[in-house]
Amino acid sequence: KNLKLIKVESPEQGAEQVYEIIKNEIESGRLNVLGLATGSTMIPVYDKWVSSNLDFSNIVTFNLDEYIGIPESSPNSYAYFMSEHLFDKKEFRKTNIPDGMAEDLVEECAAYEDLLEEYPLDIQLLGVGENGHIAFNEPGLPFDSVTHVAQLTESTLGVNSQYFENDEKIPETALSMGISSILGAKKIVLLAFGEKKRAAIEKLLEGNVTTEWPITKLVDHKDVIVITDLEI
Ligand code: GLP
């Protein structure tokens, strides 16, 4: 298998592992374009980067996804999350997040996908949803998907709405890189902490590729590192 499993004791230890990988790749000149993710899983990862002296100023970043109709100024947007946890604290060459406020969303998706083609991802950081989604690629979506308008499932709306502040209603749609866009990255680093992620990680490690568990498609990629605190 091309899947490497790193077992850690805590999210903080996981963040240390990610830090070592990223540091190594930056210092060896292999990392120029970095795919980023949001969610609670990523907070210790970004905290670690922020408190380090690692230099990201030559790095171009691409985020996986963004809610539709939530402005950057709202604490519920992924753009806000990224500014708060990373972009306001570290200098990057250029940061990219799909614009969920774009007038023409289809055009926005096409433009984002074009950018990804122009700047191929060296590393993509990934979390996973409880239902096995990666970015907002929900169960049932074809594997050849590229950046698109994604329909969120009831399960995802339930899980993610807990984080919504100020009575803002969680959108039922988002812009998301597709499974094919994600698999285009040279290296993928997936993080999963806590029992709620067990089902998804077990499906991945079982190795049966099915659109019902989008995460399973990662077994077809040649360089995936899975960092988890789960005893499997
Ligand atoms: C959202 C994001 C995913 C992320 C997932 C897990 O649905 N679209 O990219 O992996 O949340 O979030 P958490 O890290 O908070 O468990």
Q: What is the pLDDT of residues 83-109, one digit of tens each?
A: 999 999 999 999 999 999 999 999 999
Ligand 1 within 6 A of 36 CB?
no
Q: Which of 65, 66, 113, 229 is catalytic?
A: 65
Split at pLDDT 50, 70, 90, the class of 125 is very high
Class of domain 9-180: alpha beta
Instruction: Report the distance separating Cα 100 and Cα 167, nearest Å.
Output: 19
Within a 10 A sphere around the Cβ of 130, how many other Cβ atoms? 15
CB distance 197 to 161 below 8 Å:
no
- For residue 2, the model assigns a pLDDT of 84
Q: Which of 133, 148, 160, 229 is catalytic?
A: 133
Ligand 1 within 6 A of 129 CB?
yes
Checking if the pLDDT of 9 tops 90, the result is yes
- Pairing relationship of beta strands 94-96 and 60-63 according to DSSP bridges: parallel
- For residue 115, the model assigns a pLDDT of 98
Report the predicted TM-score, pTM, of the whole model to 2 decimal places.
Answer: 0.98
Q: What is the ipTM of this complex?
A: 0.96
Active site residue 138: yes
CB distance 96 to 61 below 8 Å:
yes
Split at pLDDT 50, 70, 90, the class of 156 is very high
Q: What are the tens digits of pLDDT across the range 165-211?
A: 999 999 999 999 999 999 999 999 999 999 999 999 999 999 999 99
Within a 10 A sphere around the Cβ of 119, how many other Cβ atoms? 16
Active site residue 220: no
